[in-house]
Structure 1
Amino acid sequence: MNERSRTGIDAEAATLYATWFRALADPTRVQLLHLLAAEGRPMNVGEIVERSPVGQSTVSHHLKILSEVRFVLPERRGTSTAYAVNRTCLTVFPAAVRAILGDDRPAAEEGADGAQ
């Protein structure tokens, strides 16, 4: 019997999903991700700090964690780095939640409000 048939999610997927949830387990990271998503364009650390209640080193630390799980994508621009939301990764996230809950159906099969 393989790992997936016993648990529904194989060890590799479980590890990936846990990494994603750990990255979102901090309110500051959630706020930074929201800021970047709402802005809809890459922003450098200085711009993010101006619109954030935390300092530069904290913003940089959180952006590093978000970029490690590819929720944000860093882009070198001369001597600075701009960060943008990785919309592809974030659109896959709801599918991961459905898999964890044992509902592997595509979102289109659910009602408009997400109810079954």
Structure 2
Amino acid sequence: MKGVTVLDRATAETYAGWFRALADPTRVQILNLIAAACEPVSVGEIVEQVSVGQSTVSAHLKILTDTRFVLVEPRGTARHYRVNQACVSCFPSAADVVMGRDAVAFTSDEAAR
């Protein structure tokens, strides 16, 4: 396989984390809700829109924040969540790169922004 470039391990691990984070339909719903919102949303607002409890939403938000799809904004004692545009804009290209298509590869450092 001459001329084939393999992803570096750190980037492959970042991409794998993204794919794992989106492997749950509730997390996909939560990310979609946050991305569609015009402003950061609270856990309570998310709970109102998805059919799971607050503790479950919080657990899913932890995974989405750990992978940097979602960023947290503390507001007093509450926490509000917004989509991380830098990470989300990398995701389609990540899928292309993994599948061997021409796309701009993002490093794990860029995705962490």
Scaled to the shorter chain, the TM-score interval is 0.7 to 0.9
SS of residue paired to 1:66? helix
Q: Are the aligned partners of 1:98 and 1:104 in contact in 2 as well (CA < 8 Å)? A: yes
1:40 aligns with 2:48: no
Identify unmatched segments of 5+ residues in structure 1: 107-116
1:27 is aligned to 2:30: no
Shift of 1:50: 1.1
TM-score (norm 2): 0.84
Greater RCO, CA 8 A, separation 6+: 2
1:53 corresponds in structure 2 to: 51
Find runs of 4+ consecutive structure 1 residues off by over 6 angstroms.
Answer: none
Indicate the percent of aligned positions where both proteins have the same amino acid: 56
Contact 1:74 1:84 in 2 (8 A): yes
Q: CA RMSD in A?
A: 1.5
Q: How far did 1:101 drift? A: 1.3
Paired residues, number:
102
- The answer (yes or no) to whether the contact 1:8–1:102 under 8 Å persists in 2 is no
Q: Output the CA distance in 2 between the equivalents of 1:13 and 1:82.
A: 28
| Unaligned segments of structure 2, at least 5 residues | 105-113
- Per the TM alignment, residue 35 of structure 1 is displaced from its structure 2 partner at its CA by 0.6
- Displacement of 1:105: 3.4
**Radius of gyration: which is bigger?**
1
TM-score (norm 1): 0.82
Alignment match, 2:109: none
* Letter of the structure 1 residue corresponding to residue 86 of structure 2: T
Deviation at 1:40? 2.5
- Counting only pairs closer than 5 Å after superposition, residues 67-78 of structure 1 correspond to structure 2 as 67-78=65-76
| Residue 81 (structure 1) aligned to one of 55, 79, 82 | 79
